[in-house]
Amino acid sequence: MSFLIAQSLINGVILGTLYLLMAIGFTLAFGVMRIVNFAHGEFYMIGAFCALIGVTWLGLPYPVTLALTIVFAILMGAVVERLVFRPFRNDELSGMIASLGLAMILQHGALILFGPDPQAFPAMVSGVFKWGALIVPKSRALALGIGLVILLIFYLFLMHTRHGRALRALVQDQEVAAVFGVRLEIMYPLGLGLGIALAAVAGGLMAPLFGVSPFIGATPLLKAFIVVILGGLGSIPGAALAAILLGLIESFTSSFISASAADIVTFALVIGVLLVRPAGLLGRAEA
Amino acid sequence: MKRTTILAAASALAMVATGAMAQETLKIGALVTMSGAGASWGNGMKRAAELAAEDVNAAGGLEVGGTSYQVEIIAYDDSYKANEAVTAANRLVFEDKVKYIIGTVGSAPILAIQPITEENGVITMTLGFTAQALGADKQYTFRPNPTTAEVAQPQIDWIVRTQDVKTVGALFPKDETGEAIAKDLASAYEQAGATLAATEFFERDRVDFIPLLTRIIAQGVDAIELDGNSPVTAGQIVQQARDLGFEGVIIRTGGPATQEIVNVAGEAATEGMFVHSAFDPGLASAKAYEERYVETYNEPMNGFSPFFYDGTKMLFQAMQDAGTVEDTEAVKTAYENISDYDGILGTMNWTGGERYGIAHQLDSPFYIARVTGGQEEIVARCTSAGCE
């Protein structure tokens, strides 16, 4: 029994970190641009395809592929901001609907380009780390390690650089930030680009674990949504807390009760939190 | 003299013209899964129908009762969902006016469309594994592929006997197909002297099996059974079970999917896996079909595809035997009466009278293969009586 508890704990933390990567990008895009980006899951899918193309078609090393994926995703984010979201900057509802349309275009574009069948992604590492009876698959440890490094870099960028501060200022108050000289024309594309890059790199990290197909974006989008609602829209510490919580809940209920119980418990928790704290665990209530 | 020549030429022309006019179109529906996890099955079925149609079209059309038909395949996607299958079935039956449907892939979809197809005398060929798909009250539904119920027992007997398996764990999708297979397998393992000790059910779109596998492996099972899962899901289960350090036997009792599983999980993870195979690469006709499939579609062939190729060819023969494409009752009877059909996978017959109450279930030879270096190697040859 203690084996199962410890193993579930490990599984849950790994899962939570992966959800966090998805959720932070999602909440950042919302915080900066006030847009609920339903296409976020499709950028996860695009990131996975980028990794597939880099590793299996071009034969690039995995870290190089991930770095290229991030650069490509930031650029793509900037383009998407300019073409799709800028016209809806002060219109949240239309922006949300535009993002739904964008999601469909991206998914079906991938379907036309790559076909519906899941593509094989070669394992980057194989084997397991073992401590007594406890097991961590090396493939997951790798995803976890790279994910943590990326989150750390992102944290340092956000806290200790000029652009990072500008982004945080935008999240707190758009008008005041603009008055203090934050250049919206740069920060909006950058904010969305970074958010999308986090989703894309999550896709690249998950590809060796879960495979690649045009339909893989839906589940991570749902998880990111749950995490962000739980943590509070726009709150990054809230997302971190909620992501780990969600990972642990899923892992423990799946291991001790059943897979469908995990979904029930998760959504019951979402409803419960929304009833008690409508702004989420660490969210700010809208004035 | 000249006049007679002209007359002869004119009448010859007229004959050619009537001949051309008698060339009609026979529409056949393909209601299969073309997106999502079941897409590799669905595409395999649709393409089987297309290749069978290509054969008869290339030969100048399908001759039935003095009329020559060009066969056209109309394909719709059901995404493995019952509600979408019903929409597509309505469209096929009432708008496209088809009388023959290749499909569906899933069990829930076939049960959902049967009220439409049976009522309107539309012949369907389903892959769906549920026992309820066939029955005395479902005169127009056929299953041209063996299911777990047909192949499980002899294979499981052989594996339990030769691999010294005592306890088995398995994951099944939580739907009609999964429940039916779980029940069949539990009794098959019990009869073979082993137990299906740990079972888990999950939603079909799940991709992370680590928590469920942790639970199964913690119970110390000797083997993991993959039957009932889509090829891609099965591949993910294999990969993640090996990731968790599972070293026991992995078995796939039913449903050919080896190629896709190897694609997803990789050669190392699948080494030594035991799989059901309906496909003997030593058989020239089977090999030729696989090559043609790969050449045409540039993708590995799904193992169910040859069954639906044979099934469609048998249907064409039934139309010719009945001398009609309109009267599906006559075609259905002719289809039932085909015996010892010489298909690309060997000799085919209809069976299932005892099990389902109607002999609409295909009976064909099958094999147990061991996966070595990503390829199937036949280790035992089976009939419904047993494996050697």
pLDDT at B149 (0 to 100): 81
- The answer to which of A50-59, A223-232, B12-21 has the lowest mean pLDDT is B12-21
Q: For residue B165, tell me if it sits in a domain.
A: yes
Q: For residue B214, tell me if it sits in a domain.
A: yes
Phi, psi dihedrals of residue A230, rounded to the nearest 5°: -65, -45
| B236 contacts in chain A (CB < 8 Å) | 210-211
Q: Name the strands in the sheet holding B341-343, side by side, starting at the edge strand that comes first in the sequence.
A: B341-343, B346-351, B361-363
Task: Tell which residue, B137, B184, B145, has the closest CA to residue B277.
Answer: B145
pLDDT band at A138 (very low <50, low <70, confident <90, very high): confident
- The answer to which of A88-92, B1-5, B288-292, B355-359 has the lowest mean pLDDT is B1-5
pLDDT exceeds 80 at position B255: no
| B244 contacts in chain A (CB < 8 Å) | 128, 135, 137
Subunit contact A120:B236, Cβ cutoff 8 A: no
DSSP code per residue over A143-192: HHHHHHHHHHHHHHHHHHSHHHHHHHHHHH-HHHHHHTT--HHHHHHHHH
Task: Tell which residue, B102, B85, B92, has the closest CA to residue B145.
Answer: B102
> Looking at the complex, does the CB of residue A259 fall below 8 Å from at least one CB of chain B?
yes
pLDDT band at B6 (very low <50, low <70, confident <90, very high): low
Nearest chain A residue (CA) to B215: A255
Specify whether B141 is located in the same domain as B153. Answer: no
Task: Tell which residue, A165, A202, A238, has the closest CA to residue A47.
Answer: A202
Specify whether B155 is located in the same domain as B86. Answer: no
Residue B287 bridge partners (DSSP): none
Could you give the percent of chain A with pLDDT greater than 70? 98
Sign of CA dihedral B269, B275, B281, B282: positive
Of B203, B264, B268, the CB nearest to A118: B264
- Tell me the C-alpha to C-alpha distance, in Å, between residue A199 and each of A45, A99, A123, A195, A240: 8, 15, 21, 7, 15
> Looking at the complex, does the CB of residue A15 fall below 8 Å from at least one CB of chain B?
yes
Distance CA B316, CA A160 (A): 73
A106-120 confidence digits (pLDDT tens): 999 998 898 877 777
So what's the ipTM on this one? 0.76
The encoded tokens of residue B69 equal 């038909």
> Looking at the complex, does the CB of residue B39 fall below 8 Å from at least one CB of chain A?
yes
Specify whether B222 is located in the same domain as B155. Answer: yes
Alpha-helical segments (H) within chain B = 2-21, 39-58, 82-90, 107-119, 148-163, 176-192, 210-218, 231-243, 258-265, 267-270, 284-297, 305-322, 328-337, 353-356
> Looking at the complex, does the CB of residue A235 fall below 8 Å from at least one CB of chain B?
no
Nearest chain A residue (CA) to B217: A4
Specify whether B18 is located in the same domain as B133. Answer: yes
> Looking at the complex, does the CB of residue B35 fall below 8 Å from at least one CB of chain A?
yes
Q: For residue B222, tell me if it sits in a domain.
A: yes
> Looking at the complex, does the CB of residue B327 fall below 8 Å from at least one CB of chain A?
no
pLDDT at A91 (0 to 100): 84
Angle at Cα A60 formed by Cα A57 and Cα A66, nearest 5°? 105
A232-281 confidence digits (pLDDT tens): 887 888 889 999 999 999 889 988 887 778 888 988 988 998 899 888 88
Specify whether B133 is located in the same domain as B25. Answer: yes
Nearest chain A residue (CA) to B214: A255
B296-326 confidence digits (pLDDT tens): 998 888 888 999 999 999 999 999 999 999 9
The domain containing residue B266 runs over which residues?
A: 148-277+367-387
Tokens 């995803």 map to which residue?
A143
Distance CA A222, CA B353 (A): 47
Specify whether B79 is located in the same domain as B156. Answer: no
The encoded tokens of residue B276 equal 């059901």
> Looking at the complex, does the CB of residue A222 fall below 8 Å from at least one CB of chain B?
no
pLDDT exceeds 90 at position A181: no
Specify whether B170 is located in the same domain as B243. Answer: yes
Domain range summary for chain A, segments of one domain joined by +: 2-276
Task: Tell which residue, B200, B40, B101, has the closest CA to residue A255.
Answer: B200
Subunit contact A137:B263, Cβ cutoff 8 A: no
Distance CA A251, CA A5 (A): 10
| Over residues B99-121, mean pLDDT | 94
| B263 contacts in chain A (CB < 8 Å) | 118-120
CATH number, position B233: 3.40.50.2300
A21-37 confidence digits (pLDDT tens): 999 989 888 888 888 89
Distance CA B278, CA B286 (A): 10
Subunit contact A11:B235, Cβ cutoff 8 A: no
Distance CA B213, CA B170 (A): 9
Specify whether B138 is located in the same domain as B155. Answer: no
Specify whether B22 is located in the same domain as B122. Answer: yes
Distance of alpha carbon B239 from the chain centroid: 25
Subunit contact B43:A111, Cβ cutoff 8 A: no
pLDDT band at B8 (very low <50, low <70, confident <90, very high): low
pLDDT exceeds 50 at position B250: yes
The encoded tokens of residue A280 equal 């989420």
| A123 contacts in chain B (CB < 8 Å) | 239, 266, 268-269
Specify whether B296 is located in the same domain as B234. Answer: no
Q: By the 8 A CB rule, do A25 and A196 touch?
A: yes
pLDDT at A287 (0 to 100): 38
Distance CA B130, CA B128 (A): 6
Of A211, A258, A259, the CB nearest to B264: A211
The encoded tokens of residue A146 equal 């790279």
Q: For residue B154, tell me if it sits in a domain.
A: yes
pLDDT at A255 (0 to 100): 82
Tell me the nearest-neighbour CA distance from A69 into chain B, angstroms: 22
B136-168 confidence digits (pLDDT tens): 999 999 999 988 888 888 899 999 999 989 999
Distance CA A201, CA B324 (A): 59
pLDDT exceeds 60 at position B13: no
B191-223 confidence digits (pLDDT tens): 999 999 988 888 877 888 888 898 898 888 999
Specify whether B347 is located in the same domain as B376. Answer: no
- Count CA within 13 A, CB hemisphere, residue A27: 31
pLDDT at B7 (0 to 100): 54
pLDDT at B11 (0 to 100): 53
> Looking at the complex, does the CB of residue B205 fall below 8 Å from at least one CB of chain A?
yes
Of A122, A213, A260, the CB nearest to B266: A122
Interfacial A residues in 93-152 facing B (CB < 8 Å):
111, 115-120, 122-123, 126, 128, 130, 135, 137, 139-140
Phi, psi dihedrals of residue B143, rounded to the nearest 5°: -125, 105
> Looking at the complex, does the CB of residue B33 fall below 8 Å from at least one CB of chain A?
no
Specify whether B127 is located in the same domain as B156. Answer: no
Q: Which CATH number fits domain A2-276: 1.10.10, 3.30.43, 1.10.12, 1.10.3470?
A: 1.10.3470
Residue A180: Cβ within 10 Å count: 10
Subunit contact A116:B34, Cβ cutoff 8 A: yes
How many domains, in total, are found in chain B? 2
Q: Name the strands in the sheet holding B23-32, side by side, starting at the edge strand that comes first in the sequence.
A: B62-64, B67-77, B23-32, B100-102, B123-125, B141-142
pLDDT at A38 (0 to 100): 92
pLDDT at B21 (0 to 100): 47
Tokens 């290229």 map to which residue?
A68
- The answer to which of A70-79, B14-23, B186-195 has the lowest mean pLDDT is B14-23
| A9 contacts in chain B (CB < 8 Å) | none
